[in-house]
Chains A and B, each alone.
Chain A
Amino acid sequence: MKVLYFAWLRTRIGLGEEEVTPPAGIADVAGLIAWLKERSPGHQTAFADLRAVRVAVNQDHVGFDHPVAAGDEVAFFPPVTGG
C-alpha cells in the first residue's frame, strides 16, 4: 500500500510518500491511521488532531470509515486551499 502526505503532514512526518504493509485486520482508514501513528513521533504529531486531516483513497475524497486494502493509494492532507 502506498501512503502519501501533503502540506504540513509531509513536513511533520518528514516524508512525502512511503510504502507500507499493514497487518491483516487493518480494514479502514481509521485503523490505518491508528497503525501509522505508531511508526514515529512525527506520525503521532501529524495525526494528533484528525479534525484537521482529510483523506483520499485512490485519488477520491473519502471518510475515515472508507475501506483500505493492499494495492491502494492512500493520501493524507489538510483541507485544501487552492484557487
Chain B
Amino acid sequence: MIRVQREDFDVGVEVAAFSAGDAGVGAICTFVGLVRGGDGNGVTAMTLDHYPGMTERQMAAIESEARSRWPLSDVLVIHRFGRLEAGARIVLVATASAHREAAFQACQFLMDWLKTRAPFWKLEHTPGGDRWVEAKASDDALAERWDG
C-alpha cells in the first residue's frame, strides 16, 4: 500500500497494524527517514514538493517491482510532503515476508528506487536562505546495483 500525505504517521501504530492477522509472516523490516539537521548543515526545516498523481503512480510501480522480485506478504510506503521541521519523519517503508532476507532486501530496494524515481524535491530552509537539494550520484549508484 502506498500513502502520500501531509500528516505525520505513528511508526508503532503503523507497524502493529501492518500484516496483522497474516500467520505466514515471519519477518517485518522497516525504514524511517527523518529530516536531518544539527550536523552543521544549518537546516532548520525543509519543504517537500511533489507531483500529485505521478508520485502515486511511480510509487505503485516501485511496489509492484519489489513484489515481483521478492516473496512479500505485504508492503507499506508512507511518504510525506509539505513543510517538515528538523527531526520530523519523512518516509516509512515496511516489508513483510516469511523470512528476513526478502524483507531486508526489498526494504532497501524500495528506498533506493524511491530516491531516484519518485517525483519529490526537497527545499532546505536555513538561516542563510532556502536551497533546493541536489540529487546525489551516490543515490544513482545505490539504485543501479539492483539492475540486471
Chain A residues within 8 Å of B, Cβ to Cβ: 4, 6-8, 56, 59-61, 75, 77-83
**Chain A residues with CB under 8 A of B123:** 7
* Per-residue A-contact encoding for B130-148, CB less than 8 Å = 1, 0 else: 0011110000000000000
- Which of B19-27, B37-45, B50-58, B68-76 has 4 or more CB atoms under 8 Å from chain A? B50-58
**Chain A residues with CB under 8 A of B116:** 79-80
**Chain A residues with CB under 8 A of B49:** 6-7
- Tell me the nearest residue of chain B to A58, going by C-beta: B54
Q: How far is the CB of B120 from chain A (nearest CB, A)?
A: 3
Q: How large is the interface on B (under 10, 10 to 19, 20 to 34, 35 or more residues)?
A: 20 to 34
State the CA gap A7–B50 with chains docked (Å): 8
State the CA gap A51–B115 with chains docked (Å): 19
Cβ contact within 8 Å between B120 and A83: yes
**Chain B residues with CB under 8 A of A78:** 121, 132, 134-135
- Tell me the nearest residue of chain A to B90, going by C-beta: A83
Q: Which residue of the partner chain, among A61, A80, A83, contacts B33 with CB atoms under 8 Å? A: A83
Cβ contact within 8 Å between B118 and A83: yes
Chain B residues within 8 Å of A, Cβ to Cβ: 33, 48-51, 53-54, 57-58, 79, 90-91, 111, 114-123, 132-135
**Chain A residues with CB under 8 A of B120:** 80-83
Cβ contact within 8 Å between B133 and A81: yes
- Inter-chain pairs besides A59-B51, A81-B121, 18 sampled, C-beta below 8 Å: A6-B119, A6-B121, A56-B51, A56-B54, A59-B58, A77-B121, A78-B121, A78-B134, A79-B135, A80-B116, A80-B121, A81-B132, A81-B133, A82-B48, A82-B115, A82-B118, A83-B79, A83-B91
Q: Which residue of the partner chain, among B53, B57, B79, B134, contacts A82 with CB atoms under 8 Å? A: B79
